[in-house]
Structure 1
Amino acid sequence: MNLRSSWVAETGQTREDTRLNQVGATTMVNPVQVRSGILPGSYSGQFRLSGFWMDKASAMTATVSEGRAVIQGDISQGVYPVALPAAEQITFAAGDAQYGRIDLVVLKIYDNLYDGSTRNEAKIEIIQGVPGQAPKAPAAPPRSLALYEVTVPAGASAGNGGIPWNTSLKDLRTPVVALGGILPVEGPVLPGAHPGQYQDTPNNQLQRWDGGQWVAYPEAVGGIVPSSAALTQGGYTGQYRDSSGGTLQRWSGSAWAPAFPGPYFSDSLDAGYTTSTTYVTTLVERDQNPLSLTFTAPPSRAVLVTFGSRMEVILDTGQTTNIAGTALMCLRVTQGATVVREVEDELAAKGAKPALPADGVSASTVQRLANLTPGASYTLTAYYRSSSATLRAWFDNSFIQVTPQY
């Protein structure tokens, strides 16, 4: 047997054994124990994990490639380093005549001090499963590291084709690295042992354990994470990413939001009128009432508000000539139930009609809202009035636009 171990044999540990097994691999799972696993690496540098790779040698025999690993015992037993400096072959028993079974290939530590086996060595072993209609793999014994599950079909033997190796192997290997190293993930994703631990996922994303979950690490602090990175959660407040829709987003600490929201826009192309001399939100003959817009205040605390309409004034009887009057449109600003700014004529967009024929005018205004609360939602609601109860003030193509200032 080529498999070497350290600090197991009562006598006979060679200097070569000791040198081969100085692996320094201690990926922690708690303050005392480490994760059992295989040291990563490959000859070409193309693969994360080549140690203890298993493949077909013959119909019922497999070759286990060289590698190094650590196997954690119970909490008081410590960790056992092992090394396989040359490939090893293992042979599976013939299949059951009626049912298939699943065998488990393990690295197994025999330590007489704890198992009473009278053996002190490391072995590559096959734990044979129980044949059945729905066979299950056996459990790994204490002080062992599972490498592969191997499905052995009913009747499989060297004389009738043996094990179908291309479909029968289930790789269970998982890597470990030295304390503080970045773990290349292969196999199951296991919880971290401490905040600040790092791992590199199969899709090449660096992640950090925050004490409760693995969080994607930013591509670079202060850099913009590309849309190709599946970053569902930000690494820090103020981080930026390019979303899949091409919009720059900023992590608020709890959610991704547009980094530069807006401009916001709402309009109505439906005409309506009022004869009210006090401001109202409802226009006769307009289906969309009221016209409103909600926006989120930017960090600058200021926005530019543009609003207006095509306005016309006619007598309530429908006459359009020799009429003087004014149509006024204004905005009420609210934050929830609180009125931040009330409507008043001084802030209105006005369309005035002198005593001569006309088809109406387009009027708009631009105003600055300041001292807003960053991140708070504000609502702008359009109000309208006529200068006289005998006049219909018509409003068409009405709009509201909010442009945040940065």
Structure 2
Amino acid sequence: MTVRAAWLTNRGDPAGGQTRNDSRLTPLGTMTPAGELTTLSGVIPGGAPFDLGITGPMGVTLGPGRAVVQGTDIQGAYPVTITAPEALIFTDGDATNPRLDVIVLRVYDGAYDESGQVLATAEIIPGTPAAAPTPPPLPAGALPLYRVAVPAGASAGGGGIDFRTATTDLRRPTVSVGGINPNPDAPGTYRAQYRDRSGLQRWSGSAWVGMATELITWTKAPLAAGYSHNGNSNGNVEYRVVELVGTRLVQWRGGMNVTYRSGAPARGGAFLTSALPTTARPTGLRSLAVACSAADSKTLALKIDFLSNGTATLVTDSSSTPPWVSFHGVMYSA
């Protein structure tokens, strides 16, 4: 038997003691909680758990892996393991309509269902053929792994199933309580829960809040004629967009050389050749101070306006025409 479940059968003292239901409901080995007594079903990450292999026109195998399968609320959660590739065969397609089948890990427990069995299996739950088929409803104690579209007329001698295009991966990871779930769509179930969605997020109790996500990496700003990079040897003018504790911030760095005409900055101070991407634009006007050269200037700082349309303007007057400004430390909320 290559599909196994812990805490499913009673063993040991025939006089009684801890029951299998007691064991499943206790905190030993608790994964992500979904409620007061329930656990978030899912695949335990590491390697390629339950990898799907194609063995023939209608056949596949499920590779080794580990998972947690939640039954009904009072039933508890079952740790399930496949220790060697498990073979599965799809039944032939309907003569007229396609259907959607789902490959699942399933726990049968006669103490809670009407199966009369006590075992864990890997099986295919077939859908109903239809012109526009929908996936079949899944019983309690079934963890979906893959959805497979079975075309009408599919059979071993009739072309079979093109598993490469017909298969949808439904595997979703689950982790120990306090762990960081790599599933970007993991539901929030308790405050201070973490998940990774191209950056760390924390569940506040009502919403996922970004911790430190880089939305746009450091990008060289497109400077217009009359402006150039590396002012005062400060490096290229660059920006990036990060999300920090739910707030989107745009950070700048580098130095910009400035050319003046009749005492005014070139192009009236508009120093970008194209607008910033939407993600880097502020929702309203952001006016910020930038350090500047003491040469040809009555002040050591000028003003830059970042506008909601993605443009930016250097603001000065004819009495202050410093040859460079520094963007180091410039940051605004988007």
Same fold (TM over 0.5): yes
Q: Which of 192, 197, 200 is the aligned partner of 1:207?
A: 200
Aligned residue number for residue 2 of structure 1: 2
1:145 Cα shift? 0.2
Aligned residue number for residue 166 of structure 1: 164
In the alignment, is the contact (CA less than 8 A) between 1:196 and 1:208 conserved in 2?
Answer: no
1:75 Cα shift? 2.6
Q: Which of 201, 226, 238 is the aligned partner of 1:247?
A: 238
- Structure 2 unaligned residues grouped into runs of 5+: 14-19, 222-236, 269-285, 304-313, 330-334
Which SS does the other structure have where 1:167 is aligned? helix
The reply to whether residue 40 of structure 1 matches residue 45 of structure 2 is yes
1:84 Cα shift? 1.4
Aligned residue number for residue 120 of structure 2: 122
Structure 1 residues 268 and 143, CA gap change in structure 2 (3 angstroms): same
Which SS does the other structure have where 1:105 is aligned? strand
Structure 1 residues 268 and 116, CA gap change in structure 2 (3 angstroms): same
For residue 52 of structure 1, what is the amino acid of its counterpart? F
For residue 87 of structure 1, what is the amino acid of its counterpart? P
Pairing 1:357-372 to 2, within 5 Å after superposition: 366-367=298-299
In the alignment, is the contact (CA less than 8 A) between 1:95 and 1:154 conserved in 2?
Answer: yes
In the alignment, is the contact (CA less than 8 A) between 1:25 and 1:39 conserved in 2?
Answer: no
Pairing 1:180-199 to 2, within 5 Å after superposition: 180-185=178-183, 189-199=185-195
Which SS does the other structure have where 2:112 is aligned? helix
* Number of aligned residues: 266
In the alignment, is the contact (CA less than 8 A) between 2:186 and 2:195 conserved in 1?
Answer: no
For residue 194 of structure 2, what is the amino acid of its counterpart? Y
1:3 Cα shift? 1.3
Pairing 1:4-403 to 2, within 5 Å after superposition: 4-9=4-9, 24=29, 26-42=31-47, 50-185=48-183, 189-201=185-197, 205-211=198-204, 212-217=207-212, 230-231=214-215, 242-243=218-219, 245=221, 247=238, 254-259=247-252, 269=262, 295-297=287-289, 366-367=298-299, 398=318, 400-401=320-321
* 1:45-77 Cα shifts (integer Å, max 9, x gaps): xxxxx2222222122221111211101123322
- Structure 1 unaligned residues grouped into runs of 5+: 43-49, 219-229, 233-240, 272-287, 289-293, 307-363, 373-378, 383-397
* TM-score (norm: length of structure 1): 0.54
* 1:300-334 Cα shifts (integer Å, max 9, x gaps): xx98898xxxxxxxxxxxxxxxxxxxxxxxxxxxx
Mean Cα deviation higher: 32-41 or 1-10: 1-10
In the alignment, is the contact (CA less than 8 A) between 2:100 and 2:149 conserved in 1?
Answer: yes
**Aligned partners of 1:83, 1:77: CA distance in 2, in Å?**
19
Rg larger for: 1
1:33 Cα shift? 2.4
**Aligned partners of 2:250, 2:82: CA distance in 1, in Å?**
52
For residue 3 of structure 1, what is the amino acid of its counterpart? V
**Aligned partners of 1:255, 1:168: CA distance in 2, in Å?**
39
1:136 Cα shift? 1.5
- Alignment RMSD (CA, Å): 4.1
**Aligned partners of 1:242, 1:400: CA distance in 2, in Å?**
30
Structure 1 residues 117 and 257, CA gap change in structure 2 (3 angstroms): closer
* TM-score (norm: length of structure 2): 0.64
**Aligned partners of 1:74, 1:401: CA distance in 2, in Å?**
73
Which SS does the other structure have where 1:166 is aligned? helix
**Aligned partners of 1:86, 1:262: CA distance in 2, in Å?**
60
